[in-house]
Amino acid sequence: MTIPKLKALDGLDRDLRQSLLSQIRDLWTHSSTALEGNSLTLGETKFVIEEGLTVSGKPLKDHQEVMGHARAIELVYQGLGGTFTQSHLFELHRAVQSEVVADIYKPYGAWKVEPNGTYAVTEENRQTFIEYASPEDVPALMTEWLAELKRLAAEHLSEKDAVDAYTRLHLGFVHVHPFWDGNGRMARLLSNIPVLRSGHLPVVIEVRARKEYIDILAQYELASGQLTAETGVWPVEAQEAPFRAFCQRSYQATRHLVEQASEQQARRNRRHGGDAE
């Protein structure tokens, strides 16, 4: 496993650093895939990633998604020292989109070629359809999105500002919805790049917050309208506030794991009277 340069790892013994990174990988993978309907539990996710074995009675697709996401995290870590480009996005999509479909209308590691959207229920309890960006507008919109990723990844961000950067990138990516499938997992991976670059552990959205997460995204997308090359990726910045607050709350899951590791290190130090490696 590639070990990124993260502040939370400072002062921890080697085994505690490795354990914290494994916990983050497993929680991040489990949460992101479970948000999309994956049936593996957190414990089963850990087992599949570490042992490379299947869990009886669970779909093969679910195992492939978990392994693909863990691989994508590794690719993100490996790329933190450079600039993320369109080619990197396509490579990540090939890792995440573990189900390869022999269909020209469902490209693998390339932008979508057909329109896509989702059905939602508004706050007024009305049914509506959210139309994502048209395929012809995706290249221009994603060029803008990648430029913003590059700008935010180049800054040294506080924890709060890093989570806010995650919010902005996440909202933009899922509203464009540039791929035929895998957009949610891709957004939750890529939007963490500025967070990781600034030395913070990733934002992880837990599956228990799934309904609130989906509802806030739908409200944002309905308020912003369909994106085009003319509107740009972020046409109504004032609408970002609810999701920004949600992501700040969601970061508590990551903080909890860091606190656990720090407490374990402190107990060791008191017991042995020495310093961490």
pLDDT of residue 275: 52
Give every residue of the chain whose pLDDT is below 50, as ranges.
276-277
The Cα 132–Cα 7 span in angstroms is: 37
* Active-site residue (options: 170, 177, 200, 272): 177
The Cα 157–Cα 197 span in angstroms is: 9
pLDDT of residue 220: 96
pLDDT of residue 123: 82
Nearest-CA neighbor of 118 among 191, 62, 172, 174?
174
pLDDT of residue 103: 75
Each as own residue / partner, the long-range contacts of residues 201-204 (CB below 8 Å, 24 or more positions apart, any chain) are 201/6, 201/8, 201/24, 201/254, 201/257, 201/258, 202/24, 202/28, 202/254, 203/163, 203/166, 203/247, 203/250, 203/251, 203/254, 204/24, 204/27, 204/28, 204/31, 204/32, 204/250, 204/251, 204/253, 204/254
Read off φ and ψ for residue 225, nearest 5 degrees. 80, 175
Which residues, 6 or more positions from 102, have their beta carbon under 8 angstroms from its beta carbon?
none
Residue numbering of the annotated binding site:
181-188
Q: Which domains does the chain have, with CATH numbers?
A: 12-271 (1.10.3290.10)
Residue numbering of the annotated binding site for ATP:
181-188
> Is 88 one of the annotated active-site residues of the chain?
no
pLDDT of residue 168: 98
CB 6 within 8 A of CB 26: no
Read off φ and ψ for residue 165, nearest 5 degrees. -65, -40
